[in-house]
Structure 1
């Protein structure tokens, strides 16, 4: 250790030169890196309990509504999405493709364009990004793989509209860059969602963050209530048919009673009994279908997720990147480490060469 300390002390000028070079490089990176702003929002998604408040309400007040017992009603948690899946939803290609087609206002440019047009045509690369693109990114520019053939029309028709996403290489590249700009994290202990969006413009960052939150809400809501809404449409159809049948039988019974006030013959009495039986059957059917309709409506309400905004998407006032002080500190220590390994490595090489 003493010899090593003496070696480093004797080479302090070289250490200073190497560290100074790293500091200059770090200063260039700090000055020429693009400025970015990060908008942050906090959400508290609803946690579904094992007991259904909608089911309890119908159980308590179903008799008053004339709907009978609600004991058989089951408002379970089917179709719900766990908050742990939300990051996967946001990072999916379909979600990102839809997000990049949304209009974004950039205050510095005083223009409104969608994400694809901004990153493809409007955004100017910084000097540091240009250097990276034509150094580390040069191999990807040299190789030009053949683009895949588009889906034929007959095959596309067989897929659901949302089942297949066809994207070009430049679109995939922009989506990859956008995926790095958006993050969503779930805090396991509290269940709070932290949603962040980073953009070169402060207002655009807040707008993108708000758009991500709204799209996520709509996706989760649509998924969670899809089955319940289909059941509601079916219940409404059955309810309309039962009501029309009840009104039809009720009209026939009323017309018959108006025309046969005294009911003197056995034939008239038999017809009255038959019409009355049909009316009772239609009335009971109408009550049962009304109960199912109420259950379906409450199921939709119960399955609709709720997001409480603990903190709305803010417009950042301070830039999040580049962190110039941190870059300079890291450059300084990187220079020290590089000079240490260079000097010790060269000294070991010289000693081995003398022995040989």
Structure 2
């Protein structure tokens, strides 16, 4: 028994001829798409991305087979958690992106003084509020939000709306929108093989982007340095305080011994000499304590220096010349291609379906 297999072939040439047969309509579609593409491209703000590449100093613990296995795994793009984490450091490079995304890290950035490419000096927050351009298709949404905001402000308590001195614990709607926008513009990529950090930030002004990415790497270094040296600096302050107290105690004992010795130079009584020896011993004891604490202070200072991480800047921040956003020519081409696709869909699918439906309706009317 032979089975008849129905194979439906797609006549690509016939479909192409059908599309090109209505070339005038295709030209109209592409012309409309080009016009819309030009409007969208001209109203889309350019964004510039500046970046800094640096390599942090990793504090490692015991060396051995585990680190060798970690190095071998890193060569294949795997991270076994051994390299760079042997010191059980709570803040290691892999969580730097989460650090940049935290609200407590972003809010202090708003007070940074920046200089725009046209020479205007203002804070980063003022730059975001005043210089950021909004595309026309987002303005209706902005109008609605502004109207709702004004309506809320009428019933809100004074000082609870708008952008002022930000409180990370309670942000207003405007402040939260700006924080989210900055959070989205910051990038941090970590190379798992080498732990090299690439920090970037996007901004409509190229000079502001360069200033802010340099600020990001400085703030990151300060944050990590403060975290790594927190215990050592606390010890240094403690020993410095003890040093000052022991020095005062030693100077006081020294003065008491000197005064007693000067006033009893000609004394021959054993009790006087015994008291003088006692004061001398007490002075020597105070000096020994002071000397030991002074040594501990020096060790604590050395510990602070030892715990201070060193960041090697591989690539410094520079003002970008080319925008990182989608080129306007690409936006125009995208709309032209999209309009041509719509024309194909209309000619091959929608138009035949409508004709078929009209034919069925006419056939029913004749019956």
User: Which TM-score applies when normalising by structure 1?
Assistant: 0.74
Change (3 A) 1:151 1:118: closer
In 2, Cα distance between the equivalents of 1:125 and 1:86? 30
In 2, Cα distance between the equivalents of 1:312 and 1:3? 58
Tell me which residue corresponds to 1:65: none
In 2, Cα distance between the equivalents of 1:347 and 1:9? 15
Secondary structure of 1:194's aligned partner: strand
Change (3 A) 1:296 1:78: farther
**1:119 is the counterpart of 2:128:** yes
Secondary structure of 1:234's aligned partner: helix
**1:10 is the counterpart of 2:18:** yes
Secondary structure of 2:229's aligned partner: helix
Change (3 A) 1:308 1:149: farther
Tell me which residue corresponds to 1:45: 56
Q: Please tell me whether Structure 1 or Structure 2 has the larger radius of gyration of its CA atoms.
A: 2
Displacement of 1:323 in angstroms is 1.2
**Alignment match of 2:283 (pick from 279, 284, 288):** 279
In 1, Cα distance between the equivalents of 2:132 and 2:167? 35
In 1, Cα distance between the equivalents of 2:266 and 2:343? 117
Alignment deviations for residues 264-306 of structure 1 (CA, whole Å, 9 cap, x no partner): 5442354244334423432332233223212321222122222
In 2, Cα distance between the equivalents of 1:320 and 1:299? 44
- The alignment covers a number of residue pairs equal to 319
**1:242 is the counterpart of 2:255:** no
**Alignment match of 1:97 (pick from 94, 107, 111):** 107
In 2, Cα distance between the equivalents of 1:252 and 1:162? 57
Secondary structure of 2:176's aligned partner: helix
For structure 2, the residue ranges without an aligned partner over 5 or more in a row are 1-8, 63-85, 362-367
Change (3 A) 1:139 1:340: farther
In 1, Cα distance between the equivalents of 2:29 and 2:170? 50
Displacement of 1:20 in angstroms is 4.8
Asked whether the equivalents of residues 22 and 332 of structure 1 are also in contact (C-alpha less than 8 Å), the reply is: yes
In 2, Cα distance between the equivalents of 1:212 and 1:186? 15
Displacement of 1:313 in angstroms is 0.5
Paired residues for 1:245-324 under 5 Å: 245-259=249-263, 264-324=268-328
Q: Identify which of structures 1 and 2 has the higher relative contact order when contacts are C-alpha pairs closer than 8 Å and 6+ apart.
A: 1
Change (3 A) 1:124 1:306: closer
Change (3 A) 1:202 1:186: same
In 1, Cα distance between the equivalents of 2:54 and 2:157? 42
In 2, Cα distance between the equivalents of 1:80 and 1:318? 38
Displacement of 1:238 in angstroms is 0.4
**Alignment match of 1:86 (pick from 88, 92, 96):** 96
User: Which TM-score applies when normalising by structure 2?
Assistant: 0.72
For structure 1, the residue ranges without an aligned partner over 5 or more in a row are 52-75, 153-160
In 1, Cα distance between the equivalents of 2:347 and 2:338? 14
